Amino acid sequence: MASITLKNMNKIYANGVSAVREVSLDIRDGEFMILLGPSGCGKSTTLRMIAGLETITSGELLIGERRVNDVDPAERDIAIVFQNYALYPHMTVADNLGFGLKLRGVAREEIDRRRDRIAAMLGIEPLLARKPSQLSGGQRQRVALGRALVREPQAFLLDEPLSNLDAKLRATMRTELIKLHRNLGTTIVHVTHDQVEAMTMGERICIMKDGEIIQVGAPMDVYRNPTNTFVAGFLASPPMNLLEGRLDASSNGAIDAVIGDARLQIPASLAAGFQTHHGKAVIIGLRPEDFHLSASAARHAVELIVVAITTEVLGPEVILVANLAHARGPEVQIRMPRDFLAKPDEAVKLYFDLSQIQIFDATTTRALPRQASK
């Protein structure tokens, strides 16, 4: 097991495209780290640089204490699971699992022993004699995972390993990967564009955009304190409502967040971080689950009227799509309990929990520091 350290890593392709810019990240020994971002954000390139499949244009990469910039992938002692599994199509499952060990000159009996143990662990023993073309997607995924596990490497690199699975299988494999990590304790770097995977699996999430790291932190930390509007809008589904507005000074040091005709008075105790932006244009972030039907459910409730457009019944909850304040107000998505009902154009009185409000600078899109409410 080993830590992985990225220092100011850059990747510029031969055609001049800069895929990764100044990426610095400390992945701790035994950590489950998620690289999250939309497609083309450089997360896969970063992973491939760690694996050694892409050269590092500049910067440093350390696995453990060793600088591995120019070390061959085989010598880095890492294993990678590819999105499309990349199994050897002409080999049986057993040979796929044993190939890496065979290349490393491990003795036959040892290969058989380790292979059988991993096969038992992943429940793929009955498949050992088959070829990849005779396996289902989920089975291939397990074999690809097994091929990585059997090597007992210092770290696992997972490149969107679940994205080719159907939703149900994906959920199962998510849990299995978490269990696996708990049992092995090996460092895992998991690349995904799926924020559910990121939230549920990672010990820490590293969010990337346009080749740069935007924010690194524990899932709930990133969720509660997004560093900018990109992170706020990317995590969770439905995402945070990001509404253009303005901050006005109010009495007693309170601040009014003005969104169209709606006015949310933020008490002085919560508004300390926002004082710099009096009268300025801001982006106001309201999480869908911070709207409540009763004032008592919120810590710092403020009354709001919304006009229903439609409701999406999901089963465990209802997503209310509505206009804020009146029918021409900005559109918001609101998470409601499962028995909630509203007709189109019906005005609904809700309470927003001001302790959860997020304010972003309109030009830099960076979050203003929020005073944590006790």
Partner 1 sequence: MNQSLTIEAANRRFGWFMSAPSLALLFAVILFPVFWALFTSVHDYTLITPNFDNFTGAANYVEAVNTPEFRHSLLLTTMFVAGVVAIEFVLGFIVALMLNSVERFKPIYYGILLCPLLMNPVIVGLIWRMFLHPSLGIVNYLLSVAGVEPVNWLGSTKVAIWTIIMVDIWHQVSFMIVLLLAGLSALPKEPYEAARVDGAGTIRAFLHITLPLMGPVIMVTLLIRLIFAVKTYDLVYIMTRGGPGTSTDFISYFIYRTAFVSLNIGEASAMSAILLSLILLLTGYLYRYMRTLT
Rule CB under 8 A: which of 323-342 touch partner 1? none
Is residue 87 a contact point for partner 1 (CB under 8 A)?
yes
Sheet holding 255-259, edge to edge: 262-266, 255-259, 241-249, 281-286, 358-361
The binding track of 129-158 with respect to partner 1, each residue x by CB under 8 A or -, is ------------------x---x-------
DSSP three-state, residue 278: coil
CB 337 within 8 A of CB 314: no
Using the rule CB under 8 A, which residue among 8, 13, 38, 104 binds partner 1? 104
Residue 131 or 263: the one with the smaller Cβ distance to partner 1 is 131
In the complex, minimum distance from the CB of residue 115 to partner 1, in angstroms, rounded to a whole number: 14
Cβ atoms within 10 Å, residue 315: 6
Supply the minimum distance, in Å, between the C-beta of residue 316 and partner 1. 39
Check whether the bond before 238 is cis (ω within 30° of 0).
Answer: yes
Cα separation of 373 and 331, whole Å? 27
Residues that bind partner 1 (rule: CB under 8 A) add up to a total of 24
* Contact (CB, 8 A) for 48 and 56: no
- Choose one: 73-81, 192-200, 229-237, 247-255; the region binding partner 1 (CB under 8 A): 73-81
Residue 89: CB minimum distance to partner 1, A? 7
Ranges within 42-71 binding partner 1 (CB under 8 A): 51-53
Report the C-alpha gap between 298 and 292 in whole angstroms.
7
Structure tokens at 313: 């019944």
SS3 108: helix
By beta-carbon proximity to partner 1, the closer residue of 90 and 113 is: 90
Q: Is 170 among the residues that bind partner 1 (CB under 8 A)?
A: no
Q: How many CA atoms lie within 13 A of 179 on its CB side?
A: 8
Kindly report the three-state secondary structure assignment for every residue of 178-213: HHHHHHHCCEEEEEECCHHHHHHHCCEEEEEECCEE
Contact status: 13 vs partner 1 (CB under 8 A): no
DSSP string, 347-371: EEEEEEEGGG-EEEETTT-BBPP-P
Rank residues 78 and 257 by Cβ distance to partner 1 and give the closer one. Answer: 78
Based on the shown chain and the rule CB under 8 A, indicate whether residue 82 belongs to the binding site for partner 1.
yes
Pick the binder of partner 1 from 62, 86, 196, 236 (CB under 8 A).
86
Q: Which of 8, 24, 58, 88 binds partner 1 (CB under 8 A)?
A: 88
Q: Which is nearer to partner 1, 142 or 292 (CB)?
A: 142
Residue 90 vs 326, nearer CB to partner 1: 90
Among 22, 26, 57, 100, binds partner 1 (CB under 8 A): 100
Residue type at position 201: M
Q: Which residues bind partner 1 (CB under 8 A)?
A: 51-53, 72-74, 78-80, 82, 84-91, 99-100, 103-104, 147, 151
